[in-house]
Amino acid sequence: MPALEMAQESGKILSWLKKEGDTITKGEPILEIETDKAVVEVEATGAGVLAGVKSHAGDVVPVGVTIAWIVAPGESPPADAPAAAPTARKLSEPVQAAAAPAAPAAQQPEPRISPKARKLAKERGVDISRMRGTGPGGVISAEDVLAAAEAPQQAAAPAALSAVARLMAERMVQSWTQVPHFFLVREVEAGALVQARERLAPEIERSRGVKITYTDLLVALIARVLKKHPKLNASWSGNAIQPNAHINISLAMAVADGVVAPVIPDADGAALVDIAARRIELSERARGARLRPADIAGGTFTLTNLGMYEVDAFNAIIAPPQAASLAVGRIAERVVAANGQPAVRQMMTMTLSGDHRVVDGAQGAAFLNELAAAIGAPAQWLDAK
């Protein structure tokens, strides 16, 4: 079991992507593991044949314990071999003394049930694993299933949080209770942003096969504006402000059981098409619960866009140790004053969340002002990259 994170003590095997006897190449994903922070794919550290699989889906294994072997073709894995063996190479070298694996729980026998009763249980949604049959030899009968279906249902047990949901809950509580948040709200005319997408998207999709979204445009503009406002891209290190040498934009993404924030690194120097391609890649991995540790590491500023959900405005919680986060609502037509007259414009609301230990209101306002100007004239910021 590899150590994928600092202070990791164990990992849960979600699935093997290769089966025993398969030929694998170095760097090829071979299994999925859940840690306290993410679900990640583990790559083979060498080429050979997967053999001697000791742990399976659902097993929680201490770091350093052998879960399988990579052997040469025709070679057999050692039977109950010690950690170091001369004829085979483990998937990962142990990084700490391995704790003794817990004794496996006794496996529950498959309930004995008649075919008719099994069909009824599936139709009525009855859990047969908790039933005792009244038929010969304890067989669950159709009558047993009907009686269970009509019996008052007990309150469902609280659902256990997944690793992603648990981590999100812990971090949000930590941030909200320990970080002195302040919020600045700014409405900005987004007509030029809409025009920029209409102008750039068809050509980029035709030439590169990549679809450009408003999120991609905002990532590019935010990153470029942050170069002029380094305090917004800094971090709180515990008792001091830590400047960040890179501008890495974290993108908040909804997944089945929470929110993850994969990172677009060095976004200030990245071309718009490369930002879009990276976002698409991260989105696909996030939806498939296949984000890697490197995908979620190193973020210096977070963008949360809920415009696609028809949200007008909202406040975002800062992801420590970052100093700021930007929440963006939908682009919608609104009646505003223009040269003393009512006019319909495409407007968007931005809310900046700031850590008051790192940045103050005036610095946050200056950043929002320049970002609003960039959204009003995106061509001046994007065409060069």
Taking the C-alpha atoms of residue 274 and residue 351, their distance in angstroms, rounded to an integer, is 26
Taking the C-alpha atoms of residue 173 and residue 186, their distance in angstroms, rounded to an integer, is 26
Taking the C-alpha atoms of residue 110 and residue 122, their distance in angstroms, rounded to an integer, is 15
Nearest to 134 by CA among 122, 143, 124, 121: 143
173 residue type, one letter? V
Is 217 within 8 Å of 334 (Cβ atoms)? no
Is 51 within 8 Å of 41 (Cβ atoms)? no
State the helix-helix crossing angle for 361-376 and 214-226, rounded to 10 degrees: 130
Is 55 within 8 Å of 23 (Cβ atoms)? no
Options 56, 181, 246, 356, the catalytic residue? 356
Taking the C-alpha atoms of residue 266 and residue 299, their distance in angstroms, rounded to an integer, is 10
At which residue do the structure tokens 């994007």 appear? 382
Host H or E run for residue 216: helix 214-226
By the 10 Å C-beta count (0-12 exposed, 13-18 middle, 19+ buried), 262 is classed as buried
Is 53 within 8 Å of 68 (Cβ atoms)? yes
Instruction: Say whether 229 is catalytic.
Output: no
At which residue do the structure tokens 């040498």 appear? 245
Q: Which residues are catalytic?
A: 356
